[in-house]
Amino acid sequence: MKIENINTLGDLKKSGYKSRGIKEELRENLIEKIKKNEPTFPGIHGYEDSVIPELERAILSRHNINLLGLRGQAKTRLARLMINLLDEYMPVVQGSEISDDPLNPISRYARELIAEKADETPINWVHREERFFEKLATPDVTVADLIGDVDPIKAANLKLSYADDRVIHFGMIPRANRSIFVINELPDLQARIQVALFNILQEGDIQIRGFKLRLPLDLQFLFTANPEDYTNRGSIVTPLKDRIGSQILTHYPKSIEVAKTITAQEAKLDKRQSELVYVPELAKDLLEQISFEARESEFIDEKSGISARLSITAYENLLSTAERRSLKSGEDQTLLRFGDFLGVVPSITGKVELVYEGEEEGAASVALQLIGDAVKTLFPQYFPKIEKLQKPDEITPYDDLVEWFFEQSGFELPDDLSDAEYKEKLDSVAPLNELIKKYQPEISKKDSYFLKEFLLWALVEYKKLSKHRFATGVQFKDLYGSYISDL
């Protein structure tokens, strides 16, 4: 029988519908997905062999769950994807505040309505999208918000005494009966509010202003927490932790490839941007490597974490920098340039928590150092490694290039060069062309220009060349020649 034809309790009974708790519902639907080899949490990358199997085990065990991890590790995304494991539609007693199961009512309203109308009791069908409730834990959250309180206006309108349980106004948790209820940043919830959750998690009892209501609420609780919160803002009280069945640790992407997949999926790009700007694969690798460097940087507080949002917003800024340059020059297409990476600095500075030494350096300076560190990390994958200590007369593959710069008064790359002028400038450096031809012979012409600029910036990082940033571009010089010219 189709649900459009099931409008009363009698219809529901005839259809053969059987009630089941939400944890059983999640478990059975998960079992079906696993059997069919369907993805249980689509769009989540890098957790296939770690977080997702643990989350599936917790659901199979019918546990309430705590996702513990630093910011930007997809904790909230995982929670929201759990609705895909719910039945598409669920029957409820029409008019019930707490989504009463028609076959197993728990509220006074639903029980009295069924006693009065029996099989003629009207029912509604609720879509799974409406069975997800989310609350951000903040210090101002009260027990009344979560559990409920006495409503004096209801008491006056219905002419009821405060001893009558019909004067109760239910809070968010009872109203989320038979649904997934998520509390984000659990440690931010005051300890006395966390205590109010004890019985709900264990017994389903709630207490409101002296009323002891034995409402066997049927909820799937899912909490998120940041380990940093345990020291900076609060903690999860021990008895509450004891009632949470599974605590699952999340983590950042462990490889550049996974990080690139996440960024490509999440970055909000205009289609015209993607068509206008050509982005070499090296540029994408470099962008992700910045986040990896930030997580290891001595200037950044590692306990705070480096969100995946850093790479996402940096990628958006990177393309916008190239797009703006292209629009100003009136070109229909452009190649991404290494100089465009200066446009990602605002995306970095707003997403890192600096330690004292980092504050001394300055946020923008730290951001530029991260870009430099990323260059040095990736450089050996493309060109021979430059050792820190070299013998004075030792011959290196970069001697001809350094010599070329020694003989020049300065090689400038203005930001507003057209693509044709930009290519011509880089092609004019013969030793640069030779290095690309020798060590990266398979690279496409399109990608070679970014690689050339990447090589120049790397030689600056390795103290082989000097770089001077001026208002409208950048100038490269021989390291020692620049000193001589200043004398």
pLDDT digits (tens, 9 = 90+) for 410-460: 789 998 899 999 999 999 999 999 999 999 999 999 999 999 999 999 999
Residue count (the chain): 487
Q: What's the rounded Cα separation, in Å, for the pair 87 and 20?
A: 11
Residue 390 predicted with pLDDT over 70: no
Q: What is the pLDDT of residue 212?
A: 65
Answer for the pair 71, 304: CB distance below 8 angstroms, yes or no: yes
Lowest pLDDT segment from 57-66, 69-78, 204-213, 297-306: 204-213
| Residues whose CB is less than 8 angstroms from the CB of residue 297 and which lie 6 or more positions away in sequence, other chains included | 358, 366, 369, 370, 373
Q: What's the rounded Cα separation, in Å, for the pair 65 and 355?
A: 32
The structure tokens 């027990």 sit at 143
Q: What's the rounded Cα separation, in Å, for the pair 19 and 372?
A: 60
* pTM for this predicted structure: 0.86
Question: What confidence category does residue 479 fall into, taking pLDDT thresholds of 50, 70 and 90?
Answer: confident
Residue 484 predicted with pLDDT over 70: no
CA 300 from centre of chain: 19
Q: Give the rounded percent of residues in the chain with a pLDDT score beyond 70.
A: 91
Is domain 389-486 in CATH 3.30.1510.10, yes or no?
A: no
Once rounded to an integer, what is the mean pLDDT over residues 279-291? 96
Question: What confidence category does residue 121 fall into, taking pLDDT thresholds of 50, 70 and 90?
Answer: very high
Q: What's the rounded Cα separation, in Å, for the pair 99 and 125?
A: 10
Residue 184 predicted with pLDDT over 80: yes
The structure tokens 């008895």 sit at 239
Lowest pLDDT segment from 139-143, 165-169, 220-224: 165-169
Which one is the CATH code of 9-249: 3.30.420.40, 3.40.50.300, 3.10.105.10, 3.40.50.1970? 3.40.50.300
Please give the DSSP secondary-structure letter assigned to residue 341: G
Measured distance between the N- and C-terminal CA atoms of the chain, rounded to whole angstroms: 92
Once rounded to an integer, what is the mean pLDDT over residues 180-197? 88
DSSP per-residue codes, 93-158:
ETT-TT--BTTB--SHHHHHHHHHHGGG-BEEEEEGGGGEEEEE--TT--HHHHTEEE-HHHHHHH
DSSP per-residue codes, 155-174:
HHHHT--TTSGGGEEE-HHH
